[in-house]
Chain A
Amino acid sequence: MGAQRKGATRAEDSDELARVPLQAILLADSFATKFRPITLERPKVLLPLVNVPMISYTLAWLESAGVEEVIVFCCAHSKQVIGYLESSEWLSQPNFSVTTIESHNSVSAGDALRLIYERNVIHGDFILISGDTVSNMSLTQVLQEHRERKKKDPNAVMTMVIKRSKSSPITRQSRLGTDELFMAIDPNTKQLLYYEDKADYSKAVICLDKLLLTDNSSISLHNDTQDCYIDICSPEVLSLFTDNFDYQHLRRHFVKGLLVDDIMGYKIFTHEIHSSYAARIDNFRSYDTISKDIIQRWTYPFVPDVKFGGNSATKLERQGMYRASVVQSRSAEIGPFTVIGNGTKIGSNTKISNSVVGEGCTIGSNVSIEGSYIWNNVTIEDNCKLMHAIVCDGVVMKSGAVLEPGVVLSFKVVIGQQFVVPSYSKVSLHEQPIKQDSDEELEYADNSSGIGELSSIAGTVDKSNGVMSSQLSGEQCQPTDELGTGGIGYVWSICEGSHEEEWRHSIAPIPADKLAEAIQTTEDDLELITQDGSVLPASGELKLDSIDSDDVDNEDSRDDSIDFEKEVEATFLRAVHENIKEDHVILEVNSLRLSYNKLFADCAGAIFYSMMKLALETPHTSASELCNNAVSVITKWKKLLKSYLNDIDEQIEVILTFEEMCLESAKEFFPVFAKILWHLYDKDIIQEEAVLKWDDEKKDADDSDKVFVKQSEKFIQWLREASEEEEGGGGEEEEGNQE
């Protein structure tokens, strides 16, 4: 059905292109848990970014870029997202329709796209974006490029938007806090050839397929680009997701899957933007960085003093200070690059710099706020100190409380008097889920329970603020103790994502000691690399380092061969039980050989191994019966085995495998080794040269290795004599000798 539809759209493409309205799929769920504990109570896309919900930036951009129809896919907290959209002006814009699709059982972007495909709402090229992306780029050029490529090559299904942005050489992460991204791009066609966002730095090596170099005249390798997570997709992308039901993550599975898959030949291209801005909020650090970019107006016209969707009027004053109508004490100092929302009161001698303060906040006297994000209706009493923290709606900080860098206070938490919240702690009214899903894709998982809980707590909060604290502390004794006198909330333990992650992704600047540490390690790395004599250039043409890739191959090869043997065995057993013809088995084994990149010798070894194992498993009472079993199996599947034994080396491999089996996995064969060897010779499976060569090889070996040589000594001797005398047919005699 997918193919049918594809064909249909392609045929109509040329004449319908002009009529199809430009569509966009907006995923209002990141399917990640980076913003916990905040996202337990509010979906990520509704978190305020410089006092405007993130999704408004995305919608405003889509609208201004000429998108006519947006399909908002809501999953986690879908009611809140839909509620927000309904109360906002986005549903009533002319020439811009916003429709929502709600789902409760999608766990990943892949599921979302499969559901959208089922609904059959996408009619042409569309823009795939998540609701936490901020951009001001123009889509005209990239759409045109995409369509032209599509006309020439129907396999060009996707165009990815990328932007140059250097990552820090010290911490190996971009300014958005994401890991360094490696991409290989054909400089002429802009085709994406390689994508790796989780490179392993311990090895300081990335592996490229050799085929890339043979197929493309030149490759430019970048580690200074940033993936904007804005994709221009053809409708085929949706059907691809449906066909490959295991695609979950857009990048890790879909993009990498397409790049590796050379059967269908789908291609991904890139479009680099220069003067315009695009970035996605992935973690707390990117929240901080993008907020600052917005305040510094890189996202113009989506800046605080321009109304673009639900934001109140603020005025830009000197040094990047934005202020709505604020009640401010004369002695309060508001520093540069700060946004103060409507109706906020600021007490005397309070200092605020590089921060965003939401609407309706009350800030006392002698408060110092530096680099923090304070959302709406927050109360901060006198003498508090906030450094690089995120403070959500309705939080109360009693006088003298201190937030150290990197703290996140979720909704309605109360911090007790004089309490110092240690750095990187996350505080929420919700207890930390005990069962930690290691798979980070499971944002929604405990939503259903989370919402119920939330509503009960929110209910009490709304009813009576004064009573609430006592009620809560009565019900849940623990939280009060954790946050000083009068404090409410649970401190989440940090262990979950390891401390390493915390400082990388927090909004606080990287502490000096971590930087020093990182510098030290990079220096060490550099020394190592320079010893190797190969330093990875920042970006540019790259030669394939064959040694490196071989190293990795060896690592993998052991696992591979075990897998391979198992597969061959399974194939063989199936053939035995289902009476499949030898030719077919040969074909199957051949395809396994190709996919595992093995030699004929390996196949022969593996098949012989499975044959012997079969013989072993057929019921037997004595050694001779076992021998007979083996002989019958060998006779039956002679042709299969022989097709892999064209060479002496392969025959030796079979003998060696047999030897190994007798020693390790199938000791029952130990006494009948020589007998079966003779049968193999008798059935023309193994030639005498192979046996003799095997014997020669073993001459210098230890005695323990020579057990089998000794066992078949007579047979070998007979072979030697026979070859010297040029006489055959001593079968009976040999058998006699053995006995």
Chain B
Amino acid sequence: MPDVQALVNDFLNKLKKRKIEGSRATARQTAEMLRLVISQQRSPYTNQAGTLIDAVRAVGEQLIAANPLELAVGNIVRRILHIIREEDLSLTTAAIAGLGLSAGSDDEDDTDQDIHPVLSGASLAAAARSTLRPPSLQTLLEDVPDSAAIPHTSSSGCDSEGKSKSADRSSRTWKLKHDVIEAVNELIQDIATCHEQIAEQAVEHIHQNEVILTLGSSRTVLEFLCAAKEKQRSFRVFVAEGAPRYQGHLLAKELVTRGLQTTLITDSAVFAMISRVNMVIVGAHAVMANGGVIAPVGLNMVALAAQRHAVPFVVLAGSHKLCPLYPHNPAVLLNELRSPSELLDFGEFSDCLDFGSGTSSLLHVVNPTFDYVPPKLVSLFITDTGGHNPSYMYRLIADYYSADDLVVQQRPTGN
């Protein structure tokens, strides 16, 4: 355990010092960290899921506090909590199902089991999920027959089994941890491949001879555009440079090396160019539960320009960027103000910042990193699971997160 704690501290430090750049890297490292926490967690005989959840929560809380503005950390923590719950549920239901089958001759008689003697773990989980909260679209589509009766006898059923209990438990303990780690591995895999997943859909959205506009630099956007190019689509890209960090310059360079016709413009020229644009494709920092987007600064302006000219505004976001929170006061609370030195040279303006002479300095320099784009300005989200309307976001989020985990803080106190 101490080495895990050391690693956690190390990771916390990195997060605090803002040393990890980009939400994908953060998400991946968070998932790997939590996987380690889970694998090192010793499970007791009772309530393993509870211990695991508590352990992940304890670490997750620290991670979120370390950099509350990097929403991907919280997303992954909640995703993993959700995974643990799901796996636990599926195991429990499977055990009960097994129990029910073996104890079929007993006085308890479940009508459902006769109809569905073998239930897959996934469908069981889905079924169990459906008992916990209103059915999601996915579960409805999966068309699992209603099996609400299954979990109702958990305690009495288990207690009735005497000898085989402990052996069953230990194997279940091991299995739970194993399954959770498997699922987390899958999650890490998903995060790693989200670019490709999104890029696969490029051909459906980018058509021949179109003009695409983007702002700043996003790896997802780059892969998306290149995927379309590889499919022999010929199109042009306008890149707004993305002041003050000018990452658009890097994107333009990258696009040119991949053989795409690229035009670089200033951020302020976006409105002038938008009438020639067929589609705006941008990356995001986070997608909120209401379909609003936390995105690099300047994007709200682009979105407004796109709306004015009825140009589709498409946001690409890996599923790790889906955040189950609602943005309250997003312009301030979810924004990172970076050093003003990115905007102007301290030396040149140092006389304007002299607090000694005169009253107080008249020049203030503010350098916010993010913009909030309200959902009504977004035409389409493309995630690794496909394209979605902003109003559908909450359903997607309901699939990935369980409602109990929205508040990760163990004691939401007001201190």
Contact = CB atoms under 8 A, between A and B. Distances in A.
Contacts of B415: 325
Interface in A639-675: none
B226 to A, nearest CB: 31
B383 to A, nearest CB: 30
A168 B357 contact: yes
Contacts of B341: 274-277, 298
Contacts of B351: 166, 168, 175
Interface stretch (B14-22, B72-80, B121-129, B299-307): B14-22
A138 to B, nearest CB: 12
A329 interface: no
Nearest to B337: A297
Interface string A160-192: 000111101011010101000000000000000
Contacts of B340: 296-298
B367 A64 contact: no
B350 A175 contact: yes
A166 B345 CA distance: 12
A95 B415 CA distance: 33
Interface string A257-301: 000000000000000001111000000010011001100111111
Given A166-B350, A276-B341, 6 more contacts: A224-B347, A277-B339, A296-B340, A297-B339, A298-B340, A509-B359
A301 B17 contact: yes
Q: Which 7 A-B pairs have the closest CB atoms?
A: A164-B347, A300-B339, A165-B350, A175-B354, A166-B351, A275-B341, A301-B18
B365 A296 contact: yes
B359 to A, nearest CB: 6
Contacts, number: 110
Interface stretch (A14-22, A307-315, A680-688): A307-315
A515 B357 contact: yes
Contacts of B345: 164, 274-275
B39 interface: no
17 contacts: A163-B346, A164-B347, A164-B348, A166-B351, A168-B357, A177-B356, A275-B345, A289-B354, A289-B356, A296-B365, A307-B65, A307-B66, A316-B332, A317-B332, A325-B415, A354-B360, A509-B355
Given A163-B347, A296-B340, A285 B13 contact: no
B70 to A, nearest CB: 12
Given A163-B346, A166-B347, A277-B346, A298 B339 contact: yes
B270 to A, nearest CB: 26
A318 B368 CA distance: 12
A136 interface: yes
A312 to B, nearest CB: 10
A318 B364 CA distance: 13
Contact of A94 (B9, B17, B338, B364): B9
Secondary structure dominating the interface of A? loop
Contact of B360 (A274, A276, A371): A371
B347 to A, nearest CB: 3
Contact of B357 (A165, A275, A509): A509
B346 A165 contact: yes
A296 B365 CA distance: 7
Contacts of B109: none
B33 interface: no
B167 interface: no
Contacts of B143: none
A217 interface: no
B272 interface: no
A308 B339 CA distance: 16
Secondary structure dominating the interface of B? loop
Interface in A365-411: 371
Interface of A: 60, 63-64, 93-95, 136, 163-166, 168, 170-171, 173, 175, 177, 224, 274-277, 285, 288-289, 292-293, 296-301, 303, 306-308, 313, 315-318, 320, 325, 337, 354, 371, 509-510, 515
A297 B367 contact: yes
Interface string B319-342: 000000000000011000111111
B182 interface: no
B56 to A, nearest CB: 21
A687 B367 CA distance: 85
A273 B56 CA distance: 42
Nearest to B360: A354
Interface string B240-252: 0000000000000
B358 interface: yes
B17 A170 contact: no
B336 to A, nearest CB: 9
B6 interface: yes
Q: Which of B10, B338, B360, B365 has the most CB of A within 10 A?
A: B360
A298 B346 contact: yes
Contacts of A177: 356
A288 B355 contact: yes
A168 B357 CA distance: 8
Contacts of B65: 307, 313
A288 B351 CA distance: 15
Interface string B353-375: 11111111100111100000000
Contact of B355 (A170, A175, A298, A299): A175
Nearest to A353: B360
A371 B360 CA distance: 9
Given A275-B342, A325-B415, A296 B347 contact: no
B341 to A, nearest CB: 5
Contact of B332 (A274, A306, A318): A318
A277 B345 CA distance: 11
A307 B16 contact: yes
Contacts of B348: 164
A136 B346 CA distance: 14
A520 B19 CA distance: 50
Contact of B16 (A275, A276, A308, A320): A308
Contacts of B365: 296
Contacts of A316: 332, 337
Contact of A64 (B19, B333, B337, B347): B19
Contacts of B355: 175, 288-289, 292, 509
Nearest to A289: B355
B414 interface: yes
A140 to B, nearest CB: 14
Contacts of A285: 356
Contacts of B347: 163-166, 224, 274
A297 B338 contact: yes
A168 B356 contact: yes
Nearest to A291: B355
Contact of A164 (B17, B346, B361): B346
Contacts of A93: 13
B333 A320 contact: no
Nearest to A136: B339
Given A94-B6, A136-B339, A510 B357 contact: yes
